[in-house]
Amino acid sequence: MKNPEIALVFNGVWSHYSFAMSPKYSSFYQLVYVHDLPATDLSAFKSVVIPFQSNHAVLGSCRKQLYDFLAGGGKLFVEGDSSATWLDAVWEDRPVNNYWWVTHPDQPPVTATDFTHPVYQGLMPRHACWHTHGAYTRVPDHARILQRNSAGEIITWETDAYGGTLLATTLDPIVEHGVQQITHLDHYVDRLTAWLCGAQPEGAFAIDEADYGRSWN
Amino acid sequence: MHEPLKAAVIHNGIEGLDGLYPDSAFMVYNRISVAYPVQLDISQYDVLIVPNGSDHVFMECIKDTVEAFLAAGGVLCCFDGWFTPWVPGNRWVMDNSRRTIDVRYKVVSDPYGFMKGIDIDGLNFSNGISGWWACGYIQPAAEAIVVLEDTWHRPLLIVDEHSTNGTMILSASAPLSDSTYATTDDDASMQAVAGIYRNIVEFMHAKKYAYEKS
């Protein structure tokens, strides 16, 4: 069996774990504990994913490693919040509206999406946004904007200026898929996975009870 | 009024944790940052809080420290899904076989008043969706008290005073704090979640001083 080609930077958070341990995704994603990241050879991976609920203080100390990975042509995906200690952008928190689909189904948090991007191609608008965690108030000059909210604030952006491709969004597909309380996230995450490594997962998200209560070390 | 309890909050650097545990007359808090090599002394604290979104690789690394803390009579509050085996006698299991929309919280037993004054519909509903965010369920120790269960009678909030010399208050990843995790702006839900937490804090405070008096 092939080794996973996507490194999922792991902050010890259970949703990161449940996502990467699911049989549907375990052959695609390799958990890399954030405190082990400095000693990890990222060249073994095609892509690196930094999920929501990450430790951005530690990631700040790994800045050179992350940009070296990009310079080598890798893809880096950042979701949720981020930090200007390592990303040339400014993220700000905003109230989370996760009930718009009940109260105002015609007013989604994201109002503009570039559906020509490979991650978004073929997605229905609802599959392209469930809720957002904040917005970017500054992004690099060379960035392409892929999604905005109704206030025109930046939700998702991408740049190739560092060598590989850096894709950042305030959506949280990995964490929410790990939590398994939104039932339609396979659409987004499977497109994302295909973009990250060139192969698309199939089937349903399953959980093996034996993975819970198991020692990490 | 007795002195406030001293609580240590495990902090793995995630956004939004600061401000969820403000000092009160019952409890004052210190942040314990996840860092390696581990140099941790929690013996001076009364309460160890492991909030939602915590690092359970780190918690497994300090498993012996937590056990010593409990052996000395400390209180452990884990409001997260502990997928590593660091909580004595109790196991959390993730599960996605039931739909969130079908979850209704139910009080099973409440000898310590955690649910006193709480409108349980504030947990069940928020703006038309779930008002709380328990995930999976707990396989509790045999003598643990189940305070809350879900629609399918699976334990979600328990108190275990028997597995160790201390007290463990554990939720199935249901966030509890003096605020909420911005998963809702529905006032009834915010009041319910914060109200349960405050009731737990008052229980811990009363228990400590009743124990010292005895």
How large is the average pLDDT for residues A22-51?
Answer: 98
Rounded mean pLDDT of chain A?
96
Q: Contact A96/B34, CB-based, under 8 Å?
A: no
Q: Convert the pLDDT of each residue in B114-128 to its tens digit.
A: 999 999 998 888 777
- Spell out which residues of chain B touch residue A209, defining contact as CB-CB under 8 Å: 93, 95
Contact with chain A for residue B174, Cβ under 8 A: no
Domain positions in chain A are 6-211
Q: Convert the pLDDT of each residue in B165-188 to its tens digit.
A: 999 999 999 999 987 544 556 666
Task: Check if the beta carbon of residue B94 is closer than 8 Å to that of residue B135.
Answer: yes
| Distance between A38 CA and the closest CA of chain B, angstroms | 13
pLDDT value for B130: 77
pLDDT value for B212: 64
pLDDT value for A12: 98
* Full 3-state SS string of A111-131: EEECCCCCCCCCCCHHHHCCC
| Distance between A40 CA and the closest CA of chain B, angstroms | 16
Q: Which of A99, A211, A215 sits opposite B129 (nearest CB)?
A: A99
Q: Contact B182/A212, CB-based, under 8 Å?
A: no
Structure tokens at A46: 């095609």
C-beta pairs of A119-122 under 8 Å, 24+ apart in sequence: A119/A167, A119/A188, A119/A191, A119/A192, A119/A195, A120/A146, A120/A191, A121/A191, A122/A191
Q: Convert the pLDDT of each residue in B17-70 to its tens digit.
A: 988 999 999 999 999 999 999 999 999 999 999 999 999 999 999 999 999 999
CA angle, corner A100, sides to A99 and A101, nearest 5? 90
- Spell out which residues of chain A touch residue B100, defining contact as CB-CB under 8 Å: 181
- Which residue in chain A is spatially nearest to B128 when comparing CA positions? A102
Read off the pLDDT band of A2 (50, 70, 90). Answer: confident
- Which residue in chain A is spatially nearest to B11 when comparing CA positions? A55
CA dist list (Å): B75 to B85, B120, B156, B166, B176: 18, 25, 18, 6, 15
Residue B94 pLDDT > 90: yes
Task: Check if the beta carbon of residue A42 is closer than 8 Å to that of residue A48.
Answer: yes
Q: Which of B53, B91, B133 sits opposite A53 (nearest CB)?
A: B53
SS3 A36: helix
Contact with chain A for residue B129, Cβ under 8 A: yes
- Which residue in chain B is spatially nearest to A183 when comparing CA positions? B99
> Which helix (DSSP H) or strand (DSSP E) does residue A193 occupy?
helix A186-197
Contact with chain B for residue A115, Cβ under 8 A: no
pLDDT value for B182: 45
| Distance between A118 CA and the closest CA of chain B, angstroms | 29
The total of other beta-carbon atoms located within 10 Å of residue A138's CB is 13
Residue B214 pLDDT > 90: no
Q: Contact A215/B96, CB-based, under 8 Å?
A: no
How large is the average pLDDT for residues B95-102?
Answer: 91
CB pairs under 8 A between A and B: 113
Domain positions in chain B are 5-213
- Spell out which residues of chain A touch residue B173, defining contact as CB-CB under 8 Å: 14
> Which helix (DSSP H) or strand (DSSP E) does residue A7 occupy?
strand A6-10
pLDDT value for B213: 61
Q: Which of A12, A213, A217 sits opposite B55 (nearest CB)?
A: A12
Contact with chain A for residue B93, Cβ under 8 A: yes
* Full 3-state SS string of chain B: CCCCEEEEEEECCCCCCCCCCCCCCCEEEEEEECCCCCCCCCCCCCEEEECCCCCHHHHHHCHHHHHHHHHCCCEEEECCCCCCCCCCCCEEECCCCCCHHHCCCEECCCCCCCCCCCCCHHHHCECCECCCCCCCEEECCCCCEEEEECCCCCEEEEEECCCCCCEEEEECCCCCCCCCCCCCCCHHHHHHHHHHHHHHHHHHHHHHHHHHHC
Contact with chain B for residue A183, Cβ under 8 A: yes
Positive or negative torsion for Cα B175, B181, B183, B187: positive
Q: Which of B15, B94, B136 sits opposite A81 (nearest CB)?
A: B15
How large is the average pLDDT for residues A11-34?
Answer: 98
Q: Contact B13/A57, CB-based, under 8 Å?
A: yes
Q: Contact B12/A11, CB-based, under 8 Å?
A: yes
Q: Convert the pLDDT of each residue in A72-111 to its tens digit.
A: 999 999 999 999 999 999 999 998 888 888 888 888 899 9
Strands A154-159 and A144-149: antiparallel
pLDDT value for B170: 98
Q: Which of A44-53, A90-99, A168-177, B168-177 has the lowest mean pLDDT?
A: A90-99
ipTM: 0.96
Structure tokens at B143: 């003598």
The total of other beta-carbon atoms located within 10 Å of residue B46's CB is 22
Report the CATH number of the B5-213 domain. 3.40.50.880
Read off the pLDDT band of A26 (50, 70, 90). Answer: very high
Contact with chain A for residue B21, Cβ under 8 A: no
Rg of chain B, C-alpha, whole Å:
16
Nearest one of B158, B182, B166, B186 to B79, comparing CA atoms: B158
* CATH superfamily, domain at A6-211: Class I glutamine amidotransferase (GATase) domain (3.40.50.880)
- Spell out which residues of chain B touch residue A212, defining contact as CB-CB under 8 Å: 83, 91-94, 136
% of chain A residues with pLDDT over 90: 91
Percent of residues in chain B assigned helix, strand, coil, to nearest 5:
25, 20, 55
Rounded mean pLDDT of chain B?
92
Structure tokens at B186: 């529905």
